[in-house]
A and B are shown apart, each in its own frame.
Chain A
Amino acid sequence: MKKLKISDVIFRIFAWFWAIVTLYPLLVTVLCSFKDNNGIYGNMFAFPEKWEFANYKDALLSANMLRAIGNSLLLAISTTLLVVIVGMLASYIFARMKYKFLTPCFMLFMLGVMIPIHTTVIPISRIAANLGGYDKYWMLVLVYTTFQLPQAIFLMTGYIRGISRELDEAAVIDGCSMTQILFKIILPISKPIIATVSIISFVYAYSELIFSVILLSTPDKYPVSRSLMYFKGDFSVRMGPIFASIVLAVLPLTIIYLMFHEKVQAGMLSGSVKG
């Protein structure tokens, strides 16, 4: 038996301590989602005396969370698809072609990485009004896509540059055109980076807040982040359904995370660590 040192014990205790600090508030939220107000106000961390499953029915239907989650998923999927398609097309050109005008274009995207989105909030609300994009999903999807593009192009271009050019050259000899090379050779090899970009875009668009606050006005169109901030009428005082709504809102991303946690962690890390 190896002797345990004090520092090792403290290390282990801290490991558990932080796990509890992280998970406990989430667990309490789940418990509260099954209680009525008395149960929550009386003793927040006790197990529910009576399990109020109706909270979930109220959250899904009356508080409109089912719709909000659907909206968020729709926004997230459309954004992800658009980022991958538009980003991949551009990245392929940036990585493989040698025209002079490409360098300044690429620099513009890298400049885009640095621009804080909040600076653009007011002008974008104005643009939306001018384009007739106010309260429309396509406007949100285009805005989300744009904010994800610089980073996606940075990641994808870097990845494609790492793919051996010999593959391209062999394909050219076989008579492949430029577009065929992209779809038959580059695209299949780029699956890992496409997964990374998809994860980052999906998580961003699912949770996005400020543009949905500014650009949407019909409550039926609210995605989860905005819905969570505006409980109306009866639901602003009944805590059970509010907690149930929170649980439902975080459920899709939690499931995706638990299924692919390695990939998700690696992907989101590479998204932040830019040159």
Chain B
Amino acid sequence: MVKKRKNLVWSIAFILPALSLLFVFLLYPVFEAVKLSFYKWTGIASAKPIFIGLENYKAVFQSPNFWLSMRNALFFMIGGFLILMPLAFLLAKIITSSIRGVKFFKVSYYLPVMLPVTAVGLIWVYMLQPDWGLVNSLLEKVGLSEWAMNWLGTPTLNVVSVVLVNEWIFAGFNMLIFAAGLVSIPQDVYESAKIDGASKFKTLIYITLPLMKESFKVFSVLCICGCLKTFDLMFAMTGGGPNHTSEVPATLLYTEAFSSKNFGRGNAIGVVILVLGMVLSIGLNKAMKSED
């Protein structure tokens, strides 16, 4: 009996640190964010927040910048499925094949994932620099100088550029997700397909892809939920500019709160990100489970 009681005390003592951190720095802030999204608050400690009901949400939903940021987040998602997915799949094929230098390829492709996003963002800001940057210089060298552009200074093009840099970084990461799927396919399935005379293309369509459903699910969940959370790369490369054209929801939250001192409105954006994120991740997980 004494021992049982002792175990209970230890158990509580062991989960208490984790639980208190969770409450103080994660659950309580979420509660605060929801609450303060109904208030007007300039962020000055002495100024009392004023209750204004749904005004913040109204302002957010009526602001063109918010819809622009949602469109830009959508660009990240489209880029993910159109570019990142096939690219990562191809890279996974490469690193699971038996061509020479596989190890070198695997280590190189993944390298950008390891580096701080701000550092990578900064590297690409200089590579895309319009006057002396690498990309425009290369285009001039191969005689395509009319393709040289102000990549990060032109509306819409700047978002596309950052989306491409994002794929450049994370191709190596998603490659691993697909590689895990590829390796898990038993080798004899391929052998019997070969005996049956299936072409390489047919093997890919009818055997490899269906057997990798799980990897594609994981990719989809990460891609869709991840595009709402982009911040570092956009913040480092454009800061949401010029003139808010490359704002994504998280950078808009930052600008509203910490530059415009509109903390209530910032929180309203935060709650929108939260709700969308939760709905998407729960919905996606449900949808993918019911498919099985």
Which residues from chain A sit less than 8 Å from chain B, CB to CB? 7, 11-12, 14-15, 18-19, 21-23, 25-26, 28-29, 32, 40-45, 86-87, 89-90, 92-94, 97, 99, 102, 105, 108-109, 112, 114-124, 126-127, 129, 142-143, 145-147, 149-150, 153, 177-179, 203, 206-207, 209-210, 214, 224-226, 228-229, 239, 242-243, 246, 249-250, 253-254, 256-258, 261, 264-265, 268-269, 272-273
B261 → chain A closest CB, angstroms: 11
Asked if A19 meets B176 with Cβ closer than 8 Å, knowing A43-B137, A121-B253, the reply is: no
- Bound-complex Cα distance A19 to B109 (A): 6
Q: Which of A12, A14, A102, A118 contacts B231 (CB 8 A)?
A: A118
Q: Which residues of A contact B231 (CB under 8 A)?
A: 118, 209-210
Report the nearest A residue to B104, measured CB to CB: A19
Question: B119 touching A118 by the CB < 8 A rule?
Answer: no
Contacts of B112 in A (CB 8 A): 22, 26
> Interface residues of A: mostly helix, strand, loop or mixed?
helix
Known: A22-B172, A119-B270, A228-B122. A108 touches B11 (CB 8 A): no
Residues of A within 8 A of B6 (CB): 177-178
Residues of B within 8 A of A (CB): 6-8, 10-11, 14-15, 17-19, 21-22, 24-30, 32-33, 36, 45, 87, 90-91, 93-94, 97, 99, 101, 104-119, 122-124, 126-127, 131-134, 137-138, 168, 171-173, 176-177, 180, 200, 218, 222, 228-229, 231-232, 235-236, 249-250, 253-254, 257-258, 263, 266-267, 270-271, 273-274, 277-278, 281-282
Residues on B with C-beta less than 8 A from A145 are: 21
- Interchain CA distance A192-B222 in the complex, whole Å: 24
Residues of B within 8 A of A86 (CB): 17-18, 21
Cβ of B177 and Cβ of A269 under 8 Å apart? yes
- The answer to whether residues A228 and B94 also contact, given A120-B26, A147-B26, A209-B235 and a CB cut-off of 8 A, is no
Contact A90:B236 (CB < 8 A) given known A203-B114, A265-B110? no
Given A97-B7, A122-B36, A209-B232: 9 more A-B contacts, CB < 8 Å: A90-B14, A93-B11, A115-B277, A119-B30, A122-B270, A124-B29, A142-B24, A146-B21, A246-B119
